[in-house]
Amino acid sequence: MTGWLEITGVNAPVSVQDAGRPGQMQHGVPPGGPLVPELLALANHTVGNASGAAALEVFGRVELRARGRGVRVSVDGRAVTLPDGDRLTLPAPESTSVRYVAVDGGFAVPEVLGGRGTLLVARLGGHEGRLLRAGDMLPLGEAREPVAAKAPGAALDATAPIRVTLGPDTRRFEPATVATLLSGAFAVSAATDRVGMRLQGPVLTHGDEGTGTSRPMVRGAIQVTLSGAPIVLGPDHPTTGGYPLIATVIRADWGRLCARRPGAAVRFQEVSIDEARHAWRQYAEHFGIRTGPT
């Protein structure tokens, strides 16, 4: 049966996001994907979807209405049945920066370049390549039976350090600056979006004016601008850049960092490449997340 989910009210950014667009970097298209993969996986598994199915990424209050059929909707790890015509109001997330709202069957928005997620900087994907607003109608996919969901648990511990691998540009920083990154107390700035998270805290001096050769960027890379403020690249990051990279957040900790709200504390811990790979294998196995390249 054909169905839709109507957006009847929003008070903060809401967009359609999925697992992302792997393999498009050579075309200048960032990988995309959820800010907090653990929460997307939990929401989708709750209503029977694959972990990376298209869902809503919500930063504030959202009001929804089922159209055409009843809909199972995930609400923070539990499924709520929304009969045809009924409304559901979800308040802003309290303990994390964002919540994911999945529906049984996922959102059947068009697939663009291998993904259904919204890429705002290019106005593609999702619903007309833009943020959702009241009156938008999102088509629903075919409903499935729910499966056992695995809660994030310790994966989103807001007090745990964010693990990083150093480099590739440590030679462009004084040893004392690298030590400051690993010992300093940082905080999430309000100047944060899907492109990158700016951190407040100690200045990471380097004297580099961004004149280095432009080269590919990756999610989690910590760029340091001339001001000395670190910026952790997010899922919609520029595909190339020239500012020096002091370190890179390991993939298993992307969600742990991005789930933190403005003002939340951030401290970093160095790990080896082998430790980063081991952490990612454990993470992907627990959450049922694909391990292909991004």
Q: Is the pLDDT of residue 209 over 80?
A: no
What is the set of domains in the chain, with CATH numbers?
4-151 (no CATH), 154-287 (2.40.100.10)
**Predicted local confidence at residue 156, as pLDDT:** 84
What band does 214 get if pLDDT is binned at 50, 70 and 90?
Answer: confident
Q: Residue 124: pLDDT above 90?
A: yes
Q: Specify whether the CB–CB gap between 47 and 38 falls below 8 A.
A: no
**43-100 pLDDT per residue, tens:** 999 999 999 999 999 999 999 999 999 999 998 889 999 999 999 999 999 889 999 9
SS3 119: strand
Query: pTM of the entire structure?
Result: 0.92
Residue type for position 49? N
- Position 210 scores a pLDDT of 56
Place of tokens 């390991």: 250
Asked if pLDDT for residue 167 goes beyond 70, the answer is yes
CA angle 233, 133, 94 (to 5 degrees): 60
Computed from CA positions of residues 45, 51, 56, 62, in that sequence, does the dihedral angle turn out positive or negative?
positive
